[in-house]
Amino acid sequence: MSTRILLADDHQILRDGLRSLLAKEPGLEVVAEAANGRDAVRLALELEPEVVIMDISMPDLNGIEAARQIITKAPQVKVIALSVHADQRFVMEMLKVGASGYLLKDSAFEELNQAIRAVLANRTYLCTEISQMVVGDYVRTLKQADSSAYSILTAREREVLQLFAEGNSTAQIAKRLNLSVKTIETHRQNIMEKLNLRSIAELTKYAIREGLTTL
């Protein structure tokens, strides 16, 4: 049984090219075309294709809003964005509304073919440039929101915290690290202030939760 595909793009020449290329692929069938977002929504809901290949910049209703409406009303339909826009805003909004893939229009047709196969297997497919952008944005977000022990505490403070959590006394830690007792006490005070904790028991729970040590 063929995978039914809807093409949504306001450029006739691009739709003609994609239809011709997809027709050569076994198991793929273009069942309809739409020149604007509103027609794309109507046809997707009427025909229920497995995949919609969607441009973003389209008249009457843009591709992001069209994708949102399609996915909301027919969540089984997989939407792949095919756009000239590599702007982070477009990419993230398309993914937020539930698109399963995002490719740039200068991608090779073989990559679109791979994207179709991937989304049909319930995987998300991003072309290389978009993938790097999404990962970079995710890493930046993690850094901004990072409240883990690895961002709050210094390496030495994490070492001291682990040793306290494992039941060592201040004197034992000082001997283990070849530091003075006063230095260890200062580290403990700094750790407690940074974490807003007030007892060794609380420090121990924190260390276990952060994966610095185990029970």
Q: Could you check whether 3-129 and 149-209 share the same CATH topology?
A: no
Does the domain at residues 149-209 carry the CATH identifier 1.10.10.10?
A: yes
* Higher-pLDDT residue of 199, 89: 199
Q: Tell me: the pLDDT tens digits for 125-163?
A: 998 888 887 777 766 665 555 556 777 888 899 999 999
Q: In whole numbers, what is the pLDDT of the chain averaged over residues? A: 90
pLDDT band of residue 165 (cuts 50, 70, 90) is very high
Domain borders along the chain are 3-129, 149-209
Looking at residue 142, what is its pLDDT?
A: 57
Fold of 3-129: Rossmann fold (3.40.50)
55 closest CA partner among 74, 71, 75, 33? 33
Q: How far apart are CA 191 and CA 123, in angstroms?
A: 42
Whether the predicted pLDDT of 83 surpasses 80:
yes
SS (H, E, C) the chain: CCEEEEEECCCHHHHHHHHHHHHCCCCEEEEEEECCHHHHHHHHHHHCCCEEEECCCCCCCCHHHHHHHHHHHCCCCEEEEEECCCCHHHHHHHHHCCCCEEEECCCCHHHHHHHHHHHHCCCCEECHHHHHHHHHHHHHHHHHHCCCHHHHCCHHHHHHHHHHHCCCCHHHHHHHHCCCHHHHHHHHHHHHHHHCCCCHHHHHHHHHHCCCCCC
71 closest CA partner among 52, 90, 84? 52
